[in-house]
Every structure is written in structure tokens, then in C-alpha cells.
């Protein structure tokens, strides 16, 4: 992790909303093949930082590097082109349509030839490829024709994550993916996060839940008052240390130089 080049790096990001300065020179680093947890108290700027990196809110100033070269990400579309996807907290699934339709929403596979030109869907192909994606990530969906609304919380989260992973070959952001889930379902999703990493992608996990962060994260970046205040490894620090960094009770050397 130390030697590799970051796949995604944010430098000195500034973002304000009216008079509120949400990010004041924030840095953030994501390496390939790691689960990095982005933690911070409410209002620390986690969500804003993520939205900046995926193009929902372009930054006022600062630099974003992708595989070492500067990029501009001003729309969600541009981040997708780079291989970055986001699993939003509220899932962003369409509940009334089936898993495959959700997987391919906005990227539908159409039939060959004239019918395809007219926008006729190749439903069998989308279903087949969705099934492959679910199987490879261990997401269990019994009935591929049921609307997503009929499925359990971890199944739905599994679909949302599978969708992100299918289209992101570089980085997957997950905003509190277990917030609405029970114990068993949470464990399933955490296992899923590890599998996503093992398949060669970087995962950015936004979470409040310290035990969960320590369970899956390879690295923890702490955000406080719109800047990064620490970059820690779970094996080297305690949960109390992380909480101390979040609240400002204890200061660490900023992760910028070290990381």
C-alpha cells in the first residue's frame, strides 16, 4: 500500500455552500486494492468530499488526481467514465423494477439490429449478466423477476453494490452501506465489501460505526472540520485513537506526507 501509486487523490479541496465552508483544503487518498474508511463526526465534510470526488458538487478549488494525472470531475458521468461508482446511502434503486433492470438502469443492453436501434431491450442478456455479477459477489437473489421492493435489506444493498462494482473497475464509494441493516445482513454486506476489494477495486467506506470500520478497513482517513487530520492503520491504533482524532481530542501527524 505504501509503495503503490494512489488510484484517486484529492489535494487541497475547498468547497463552500454559501457562507458555509464545508471543505477547507481537504486531502484524501485512495490506493488500489484497499478498503479505506472515511470517518469523521457529523458535519466533518465526509459526504461533501465524496460528492466532490464523484462529480455531484465540483470543488471550488483544489486538485483531483486519477492514477497520478490531474482530472476534472464536474459531473457524475465523468466520474463514471473513469471507473468510479457510488453506492448512495438511500440505495438509489428503483423499487418497482427487477434486479436486472436496476443493474442496467441507464446502461441498458439492447437487441441486435433494427430492434436494438428502436430501443428494444435484451432482457435475457441483462438478466444473465446480472446473475453472473450477483453470483461472483455471493449476492443471493432467488427470483430475478421480482421487483426489488420485495427483497430484504441486504439483498437490496447487494444489488446496489453489485451494480456499482459491475460498472466501476477502479473505485467504489459506499456511503453508510450498513446503516439500515440488521446484524446478519450487515455481516453479509461487510463480507461483500471485502470481496469487492479482493476482486481488485478500491473501496471507500463512509461509516460511523467503528467496530465495522475496524473489521473491514485496511486504512482509515479521518476528516475533521473540512480537513484530513489523520491517516491511520487499524492494526496500529485503537478505536479510541480514531475517535480522538475525529473529535480533535488528539492530533496526529496529518496523513499528507506519510500516508
Partner 1 sequence: MSAPTAPPEPTAAEDLPEEPRLTWWQRLAAVSSIWIGLILLSLIVIFSILRFEQFSAVSNARNIATDAAVLLVLATGLTYVIITAGIDLSVGAVLVFSGVVAAKAMNALGGESWGVLLAGLAVALASGCAWGAFNGFLVTKARIPSFIVTLGTLGMALGSALLITGGVDERNVPFKLITSIGSGRLFGEIPYLVLIAAAVAVVGGVVLSQTRFGRYTYAIGSNIEGARRAGVNVDRHLIKVYAIGGTLAGLAGYLALARFGTTSIAGHSTDNLNAIAAVVIGGTSLFGGIGTLLGTVFGVFIPVVLQNGFVIVGIQPFWQQVAVGAVLIVAVYLDQLRRSRLRQ
Which of 86, 162 has the CB closer to partner 1? 86
Shortest distance, position 94 Cβ to partner 1, whole Å: 4
Smallest gap from Cβ 27 to partner 1, in A, equals 26
211/228 Cα distance (integer angstroms) = 21
The dihedral formed by the CA atoms of 78, 80, 86 and 88, expressed in degrees to the nearest 10? 70
Minimum CB separation of residue 136 from partner 1 in Å reads: 11
Shortest spacing between CB 188 and partner 1, in angstroms:
9
The length of the chain in residues reads 259
Q: How far is the CB of 93 from partner 1 (least distance, A)?
A: 6
Using CB under 8 A, list all residues that contact partner 1.
76-77, 80, 86, 88, 90-97, 101, 105-108, 110, 118-121, 124, 127-128, 131, 135, 140, 142-147, 149-150, 152, 155, 184
Question: Please, what is the minimum distance in Å from the beta carbon of residue 79 to partner 1?
Answer: 11
In terms of CB distance, is 138 or 200 closer to partner 1?
138
Q: Which CB sits closer to partner 1, 80 or 228?
A: 80
DSSP for residue 5: P
Kind and range of the H or E run holding 232 = strand 227-232
Q: Can you tell me the distance from the alpha carbon of 87 to that of 12, in angstroms, rounded to the nearest whole number? A: 25
Residue 60 or 108 with smaller CB distance to partner 1: 108
CA distances from 62 to 24, 54, 57, 59, 153 (A): 10, 14, 13, 7, 37
| Closer by beta carbon to partner 1, 74 or else 77 | 77
| Nearest residue (CB) to partner 1, 1 versus 92 | 92
Q: Which DSSP string do the residues of 6-68 spell out, in sequence order?
A: PSEEEEEEEEEETTEEEEEEEEEEE-TT-EEEEEE-TTSSHHHHHHHHTTSS--SEEEEEETT
Quick one: CA dihedral 156, 48, 243, 19, positive or negative? negative
Amino acid at each position: 500500500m505504501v509503495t503503490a501509486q494512489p488510484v484517486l487523490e484529492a489535494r487541497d479541496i475547498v468547497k463552500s455552500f454559501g457562507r458555509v465552508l464545508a471543505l477547507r483544503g481537504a486531502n484524501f487518498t485512495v490506493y488500489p486494492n484497499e478498503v479505506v474508511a472515511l470517518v469523521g463526526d457529523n458535519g466533518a465534510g465526509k459526504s461533501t468530499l465524496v460528492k466532490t470526488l464523484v462529480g455531484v458538487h465540483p470543488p471550488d478549488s483544489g486538485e483531483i488526481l486519477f492514477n497520478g494525472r490531474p482530472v476534472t470531475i464536474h459531473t457524475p458521468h465523468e466520474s463514471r467514465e473513469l471507473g468510479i461508482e457510488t453506492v448512495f446511502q438511500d440505495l438509489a434503486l428503483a423499487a418497482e423494477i427487477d434486479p436486472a433492470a436496476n443493474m442496467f438502469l441507464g446502461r441498458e443492453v439492447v437487441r441486435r439490429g433494427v430492434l436494438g436501434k428502436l430501443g428494444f431491450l435484451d432482457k435475457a442478456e441483462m438478466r444473465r449478466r446480472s446473475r453472473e455479477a450477483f453470483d461472483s459477489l455471493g449476492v443471493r437473489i432467488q427470483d430475478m423477476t421480482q421487483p426489488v421492493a420485495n427483497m430484504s435489506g441486504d439483498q437490496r444493498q447487494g444489488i446496489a453494490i453489485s451494480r456499482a462494482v459491475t460498472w466501476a473497475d477502479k473505485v467504489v464509494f459506499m456511503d453508510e452501506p450498513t446503516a439500515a441493516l440488521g446484524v446478519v445482513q450487515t455481516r453479509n454486506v461487510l463480507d461483500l465489501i471485502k470481496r469487492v476489494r479482493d476482486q481488485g477495486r478500491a473501496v471507500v467506506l463512509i461509516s460511523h460505526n467503528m467496530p465495522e470500520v475496524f473489521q473491514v478497513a485496511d486504512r482509515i482517513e479521518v476528516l475533521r472540520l473540512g480537513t484530513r487530520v489523520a491517516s491511520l492503520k487499524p492494526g496500529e491504533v485503537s478505536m479510541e485513537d480514531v475517535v480522538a482524532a475525529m473529535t480533535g481530542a488528539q492530533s496526529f501527524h496529518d496523513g499528507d506526507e506519510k500516508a
